[in-house]
Amino acid sequence: MSFIYNVQTRRRPALAILGGPPLFPERLHVGRPNIGNRRAFLARVNDMFDRRWLSNDGPFVKELEARIANFVGVKHCIAICNGTVALEIAARALDLEGEVLVPAFTFIATAHALQWQGITPVFVDIDPRTHNIAPAAIERHITARTTGIIGVHLWGRPCDTVALDAIATRHHLKQIYDAAHAFGCSHDGRMIGSFGACEIFSFHATKFVNSFEGGAIVTNDAALAHRMRLMRNFGFVDYDRVEDVGTNGKMTEICAAMGLISLDELGDLIAINRLNHEAYRRGLGDLPGLSMVRFDPAERSNYQYVAVEVIPEAAPLDRDELIAVLHAENILARRYFWPGCHRMQPYRSLQPKAGELLQETERVASQILVLPTGQAVSERTVAKVCNIIRAAFRDAARIRARLNATKLAAS
Ligand code: T4K
């Protein structure tokens, strides 16, 4: 069934929210994994079995680390089982304690990685133009207990590292960057990965380069790298000698194999994301009240998130109404990172007044919508998604009435 035209009836079927059939028979997810060359992957799995080396600093992990360090242009890369544990290890290895400043508009893992080890994440507002931590909002949160800042390069767009460096130096704070979204992106012509004391990446299945689950810490600091490497493996320096507190942050060989075949296709994956991004821009660019997150053409970007702000004063439907329209069509657009970390537990209870200083976070979180992209989404599919949004805007009054009636009936 085409949304545009139904050959039998010569009529456009109604939007699903208004009683028509969903455009997509199967769910169209945000974050459908990119799958690399299966044959190459299976060959690596066979090698792995032949070697009987499945985890703990195996040859695939070493190869992945070398390739990432080389690609990013840093001296050290430590592969980790996921991005969250990478953040935990980085914070621990830098002796962060007390309070650490983080943006409130990020995936919950940025905050949890601190809280998990008894460090209080202090939520800072974002710059609405970049969606990244606002340097101008930081200093009012600094106390005698503050030990560090974690900037997040949200959507792969770089933080204002110059301003953050200046603040960190002035207040003797350590800096980690959460670059979970920013693998393959650059800032001032330099690859993201070499800013702050260290940076972390995520290679979760939903990331454009994935190792099923996985992450990495990159740094130019040899002593820090050494400490993080020990911490990844319980603090062991030798078979029966432990020199530091540690955890199990090891990446398995099968994950590293997946990461390697994913890396082999990095250029193609970015090209797909870019084409889809451009297709969304063509399809939505002229609609009132929709503002797509853009990437600086002078920098390298991975285009892995198609994030759109739905400005309620200008768009005929608000973000949640549009989400309802899309979900009815089986397009599972996401509200990343609504409602903001400070409104999730345990932070909502521990810091009930945090929202008072987070106006931009709250506004952007209530407007943001993330659309499907990646290898599993063709330009044709993007065009269909855009057509649904255009049709929804045209029929906004009826849709709003229908949603209000449903709400009333449920109350
Ligand atoms: N810092 C930041 C800024 C982050 O965004 C993240 C993770 C981290 C740190 C921590 O890194 P990791 O510890 O995760 O390595 C997802 C991802 O789980 C998470 O990695 C990511 N950020 C976040 C932005 O998105 P969910 O809860 O939306 O994931 P999930 O598993 O529900 O997957 C999303 C959708 O993707 C599913 O509804 C369906 C589809 N999907 C997912 C998987 C796993 C598939 O089609 N196939 C799959 O195999 O958080």
Q: How many domains does the chain have?
A: 2
Closest CA to ligand 1's atom 46: 32
Q: For residue 236, what are the β-bridge partners?
A: 242
> 110: Cβ below 6 Å to ligand 1?
yes
> 107: Cβ below 6 Å to ligand 1?
yes
Residue 279 lies in a domain: yes
Residue 18 lies in a domain: no
C-beta neighbour count of 297 within 10 angstroms: 6
* Beta strand spans in 180-303 (E): 186-187, 190-191, 198-202, 215-219, 236-238, 241-242, 290-292
What pLDDT, on the 0 to 100 scale, is given for residue 12?
63
> 180: Cβ below 6 Å to ligand 1?
yes
Residues 252 and 285 in one domain: no
Identify whether the C-beta of residue 124 lies closer than 8 Å to the C-beta of residue 132: no
My answer on whether omega of the bond before 339 falls inside 30° of 0, hence cis, is: yes
> 355: Cβ below 6 Å to ligand 1?
no
> 184: Cβ below 6 Å to ligand 1?
no
Residues 139 and 176 in one domain: yes
> 83: Cβ below 6 Å to ligand 1?
yes
Residue 10 lies in a domain: no
Residues 222 and 286 in one domain: no
Residues 227 and 327 in one domain: no
Identify whether the C-beta of residue 196 lies closer than 8 Å to the C-beta of residue 152: no
First to last CA, the chain: 35
Closest CA to ligand 1's atom 29: 206
Residues 195 and 228 in one domain: yes
183 φ, ψ (degrees, to nearest 5): -65, 130
Residue 12 lies in a domain: no
User: Ligand 1: which of 107, 330, 344 to mutate, most ligand atoms within 8 Å of CB?
Assistant: 107
Which residues form the domain of 172? Answer: 38-125+132-264
Q: How far is CA 306 from the centre of its chain?
A: 11
> 178: Cβ below 6 Å to ligand 1?
yes
Closest CA to ligand 1's atom 45: 32
Residue 20 lies in a domain: no
Residues 257 and 280 in one domain: no
DSSP 8-state class, residue 374 = S
What pLDDT, on the 0 to 100 scale, is given for residue 7?
47
Which CATH number is 251's domain given?
Answer: 3.40.640.10
Residues 286 and 255 in one domain: no
CA 30 – ligand 1 centroid, Å: 9
Q: Which atom of ligand 1 is nearest to the CA of 87?
A: 9
Residue 23 lies in a domain: no
Residues 311-337: b if buried by 16+ CB within 10 A, e if exposed: ebeebbbbbbbbbbbbebbbbbbbebb
* Beta strand spans in 348-389 (E): 368-371
CA 202 – ligand 1 centroid, Å: 9
Q: Which atom of ligand 1 is nearest to the CA of 154?
A: 3
User: Ligand 1: which of 204, 213, 302, 341 to mutate, most ligand atoms within 8 Å of CB?
Assistant: 204
- Encode the chain (411 residues) as per-residue pLDDT tens digits: 444 444 454 456 799 999 999 999 999 999 999 999 999 999 999 999 999 999 999 999 999 999 999 999 999 999 999 999 999 999 999 999 999 999 999 999 999 999 999 999 999 999 999 999 999 999 999 999 999 999 999 999 999 999 999 999 999 999 999 999 999 999 999 999 999 999 999 999 999 999 999 999 999 999 999 999 999 999 999 999 999 999 999 999 999 999 999 999 999 999 999 999 999 999 999 999 999 999 999 999 999 999 999 999 999 999 999 999 999 999 999 999 999 999 999 999 999 999 999 999 999 999 999 999 999 999 999 999 999 999 999 999 999 999 999 888 888
What pLDDT, on the 0 to 100 scale, is given for residue 410?
86
The structure tokens listed for 10 are 């010569």
Which CATH number is 400's domain given?
Answer: 3.90.1150.10
Residue 363 lies in a domain: yes
**Boundary of a domain, candidates 264, 282, 310:** 264
CA 285 to CA 277: how far, in whole Å?
11
CA 340 to CA 359: how far, in whole Å?
11
Residue 346 lies in a domain: yes
What pLDDT, on the 0 to 100 scale, is given for residue 126?
98
Residues 254 and 273 in one domain: no
CA 81 – ligand 1 centroid, Å: 14
What pLDDT, on the 0 to 100 scale, is given for residue 1?
42
Q: Which atom of ligand 1 is nearest to the CA of 86?
A: 13
Identify whether the C-beta of residue 375 lies closer than 8 Å to the C-beta of residue 35: yes
Q: Which atom of ligand 1 is nearest to the CA of 337?
A: 24
**Boundary of a domain, candidates 237, 264, 291:** 264
Residues 85 and 211 in one domain: yes
User: Ligand 1: which of 87, 157, 206, 332 to mutate, most ligand atoms within 8 Å of CB?
Assistant: 206
Residues 255 and 296 in one domain: no
Residues 272 and 372 in one domain: yes
What pLDDT, on the 0 to 100 scale, is given for residue 11?
59
Residues 219 and 291 in one domain: no
**Boundary of a domain, candidates 264, 295, 330:** 264
CA 174 to CA 197: how far, in whole Å?
7
